[in-house]
Amino acid sequence: MSGRLWRLRKKGFVIGAAILLFWTLCAVLGPAIAPYSAVKVDLDSELLYPSLTHPFGTDDLGRDVLSRVIVGARDIVTYSLCAAAFATFLGLCLGLLAGYFGRVIDGVLSRIGETIMSIPGLIFALLVVTALGHSFFAIVFAIGFGDAWAVARTIKSVVITLRYQDYVSMAQLRGESSLYIMFRELLPNALGVVLVEFTTRIGLSAFALASLAFLGLGVQPPEPAWGLQISAQYTQLMTGIWWPVLFPALAIASFVIAIYLMVDALQDRGVGA
């Protein structure tokens, strides 16, 4: 990697982290820093064009779009972090099992994984949410469960390379339990991969989450989630009213791009290679 490109990557990481920090702050502080209420309906000031008092304009119920974008960060941050954590943890367990025991267990887990992954992720999530409803856990499960199998595949491929290292044989000779070997010997050596997988899954979860919300099948109103705002307002694009839709859309874009800038930089550092 040439020096100039490396600097560029590092800059990418800093920019990504800064954007992510910004949205995390919005998620934590939310209503405290928003200039207006995100949910209060004000029919006197509906569909105002962006101006100094309302920098992003107002939507069809007179709610301030900027405030809704700030408060809406909470949904995407919490949901995508939880879905990614769920996917990574489940995938890690499955990957360790398949990689360490191999043979039948690996075969069975791999077939199940292939079957699940042959259904496109968003359509799988759509079906699960239709079945289980729109609760927090249902949505996290719908998004994370499909992803977990992809994580498992990556973890497995790493575990297989570590499986026959001397320290694993040593631990086996010492009579350590399989559980100990998986979590105390193998896991610490695969942490880099786990970190990259986790970060990648945040981005993918945010993608799926926003798409589900846009379809009206994810987070439910009156939550000011970004995808949901777009879903409620996008038909007005026909009449040229773009501001209640474009700003949440740009917020989603900035969030996922920030995640991938960080993933890119992590991979370049050789973390998880």
C-beta of 172: minimal distance to other proteins in Å? 32
Residue 175 or 240 with smaller CB distance to other proteins: 240
Which residues neighbour 131 within 8 Å (Cβ) at sequence distance 6 or greater? none
**By the criterion CB under 8 A, which residues form the site for other proteins?**
2, 4-5, 8, 118-123, 126-128, 130-131, 203, 207, 210-211, 214-217, 230, 234, 237-238, 240, 242, 245-246, 249-250, 252-253, 256-257, 259-260, 264
User: Smallest Cα–Cα separation from 247: which of 262, 233, 261?
Assistant: 233
* Whole-angstrom distance, CA of residue 61 vs CA of residue 47: 7
Q: Answer whether 126's CB lies under 8 Å from 134's CB.
A: no
User: Smallest Cα–Cα separation from 227: which of 150, 151, 139, 148?
Assistant: 139
Residue 106 or 264 with smaller CB distance to other proteins: 264
* Whole-angstrom distance, CA of residue 234 vs CA of residue 70: 19
Q: Answer whether 72's CB lies under 8 Å from 130's CB.
A: no
Residue 30 or 216 with smaller CB distance to other proteins: 216
Residue 58 or 171 with smaller CB distance to other proteins: 58
C-beta of 264: minimal distance to other proteins in Å? 7
* Type of residue numbered 130: T
C-beta of 4: minimal distance to other proteins in Å? 7
C-beta of 191: minimal distance to other proteins in Å? 24
Strand, coil or helix: what is 53?
Answer: coil
User: Smallest Cα–Cα separation from 74: which of 40, 38, 30?
Assistant: 30
C-beta of 89: minimal distance to other proteins in Å? 23
C-beta of 207: minimal distance to other proteins in Å? 5
User: Smallest Cα–Cα separation from 14: which of 273, 271, 264, 270?
Assistant: 264
Residue 18 or 127 with smaller CB distance to other proteins: 127
Greatest CA separation for the chain = 76
Residue 41 or 253 with smaller CB distance to other proteins: 253
